[in-house]
């Protein structure tokens, strides 16, 4: 009887652990790592086939993933997020829109190819999609300029080309696709205060709303990049004063404004990682270059998501709270 009771207790403990948040989080982490490893294998395979650096295939896939999340499509959960329209895949004049026959697709000048050797050109298969994309880009060449031309012909959207090139630069700089870490924009040991100010009225320069969160801190507190990304803008803006704009790998533009100055070694196109100092808290802005002191020193932090044709602002406050808690918990 005692043995049965102990066995039941042990089974209950195992079940509780398997359902615990810690165990689920660990399982999710392992699953995500396995998926990342498999993606990397596919990118390297496409690179070996085409002599095009793997980071471009990773960048295209990541760009497509950010767009699919935006439009709530299901391919962001797939191993490879790249999707080609059915008609383009099978060929414009192919009578079978869902054709997977490699010979027929080639006959009708379709995009589809067989990348895993199973004899089918399946547009939902990541290996097939990357094979088709590699062959498409090989028509143009492997240099950066040639790839820009190939991507323009594929997307017919300059913003798409720019984003892919930016993502590729991040992957090239850090030699990994594991570039999703984030931190708080100010050192959590500094003296600062902030609250949600999203949507508050602003009067200088015309009626408008506040697109961001103000973090009040003393002059000179370091302002840090919150994510891996690429410097997209840097310099003076009459509203934001000395400011730095960073595009991260999730296609979000991070806007750091009212700085007392920015790190002079940084330039447009440079890559940064979480914690890189990009400037210092100040009170610049609301006037011509050099204007300062019209308001207390603070960092204006804004976030904007690329919707394909333009950037739309969204409230950064929840992200700030989450990154602040995560960083403080590690101390």
Does the pLDDT at position 303 exceed 90? yes
Burial 75-110 (b: 16+ CB within 10 A, else e): beebebbbbbeeeebbbeebeeeebbbbebbeebeb
pLDDT value of residue 140: 95
Q: Which two tokens stand for residue 4?
A: 């049965």
Mean pLDDT in residue range 18-29: 52
| Cα–Cα distance, 161 to 323 (Å, whole number) | 30
Tens digit of each residue's pLDDT (9 = 90 or more) over 170-229:
999 999 999 999 999 999 999 999 999 887 766 555 456 678 899 999 999 999 999 999
Mean pLDDT in residue range 22-36: 69
Tens digit of each residue's pLDDT (9 = 90 or more) over 225-260:
999 999 999 999 998 999 999 999 999 999 999 999
Angle subtended at Cα 237 by Cα 229 and Cα 218, rounded to the nearest 5 degrees:
75
Higher pLDDT, 2 or 168: 168
| Cα–Cα distance, 298 to 295 (Å, whole number) | 8
pLDDT value of residue 22: 43
Does the pLDDT at position 14 exceed 90? no
Tens digit of each residue's pLDDT (9 = 90 or more) over 62-119:
999 999 876 665 544 679 999 999 999 999 999 999 999 999 999 999 999 999 999 9
On the CB side of 178, how many CA atoms lie within 13 Å of its CA?
Answer: 8
| Cα–Cα distance, 208 to 212 (Å, whole number) | 12
For the chain, list the domains and their CATH numbers. 36-83+124-174 (no CATH), 193-329 (2.70.70.10)
Confidence of residue 24 (pLDDT cuts 50, 70, 90): very low
3-state SS class at 90: helix
Provide the sign of the torsion angle of the four alpha carbons 119, 120, 125, 128, taken in this order: positive
| Cα–Cα distance, 105 to 172 (Å, whole number) | 34
Confidence of residue 23 (pLDDT cuts 50, 70, 90): very low
The residue with tokens 């102990």 is 6
Residue 13 — left, alpha, or beta (φ > 0 → left; ψ -120 to 50 → alpha)? alpha
Tens digit of each residue's pLDDT (9 = 90 or more) over 253-290:
999 999 999 999 999 999 999 999 999 999 999 999 99
- CA dihedral of residues 100, 104, 107, 109 (deg, nearest 10): -20
Mean pLDDT in residue range 5-21: 52
């Amino acid at each position: 009887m005692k043995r049965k009771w102990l066995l039941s207790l042990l089974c209950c403990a195992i079940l509780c652990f398997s359902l615990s948040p810690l165990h689920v989080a660990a399982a999710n982490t392992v699953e995500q790592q396995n998926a990342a490893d498999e993606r990397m294998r596919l990118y390297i395979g496409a690179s070996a086939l085409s002599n095009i650096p793997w980071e471009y295939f990773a960048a295209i896939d990541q760009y497509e993933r950010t767009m699919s999340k935006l439009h709530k499509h299901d391919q962001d959960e797939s191993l490879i997020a790249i999707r080609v329209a059915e008609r383009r895949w099978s060929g414009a004049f192919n009578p079978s829109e869902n054709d997977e026959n490699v010979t027929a697709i080639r006959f009708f000048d379709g995009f589809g190819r067989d990348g895993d050797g199973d004899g089918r050109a399946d547009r939902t298969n990541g290996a097939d999609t990357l094979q088709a994309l590699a062959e498409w880009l090989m028509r143009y060449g492997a240099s950066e300029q040639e790839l820009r031309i190939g991507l323009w012909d594929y997307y017919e959207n300059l913003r798409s080309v720019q984003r892919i090139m930016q993502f590729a630069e991040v992957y090239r700089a850090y030699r990994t696709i594991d570039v999703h870490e984030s931190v708080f924009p100010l050192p959590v040991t500094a003296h600062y205060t902030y609250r949600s100010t999203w949507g508050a009225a602003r009067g200088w320069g015309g009626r408008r709303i506040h697109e961001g969160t103000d973090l009040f801190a003393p002059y000179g507190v370091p302002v840090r990049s919150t994510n891996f990304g690429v410097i997209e803008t840097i310099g003076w803006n009459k509203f934001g004063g000395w400011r730095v704009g960073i595009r991260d790998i999730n296609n979000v533009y991070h806007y750091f404004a009212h700085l007392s100055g920015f790190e002079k070694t940084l330039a447009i196109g440079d890559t940064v990682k979480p914690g890189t100092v990009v400037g210092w808290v100040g009170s610049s802005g609301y006037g011509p270059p050099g204007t300062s002191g019209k308001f207390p020193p603070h960092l204006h932090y804004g976030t904007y998501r690329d919707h394909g044709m333009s950037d739309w602002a969204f409230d950064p406050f929840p992200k700030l709270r989450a990154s602040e808690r995560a960083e403080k918990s590690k101390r």
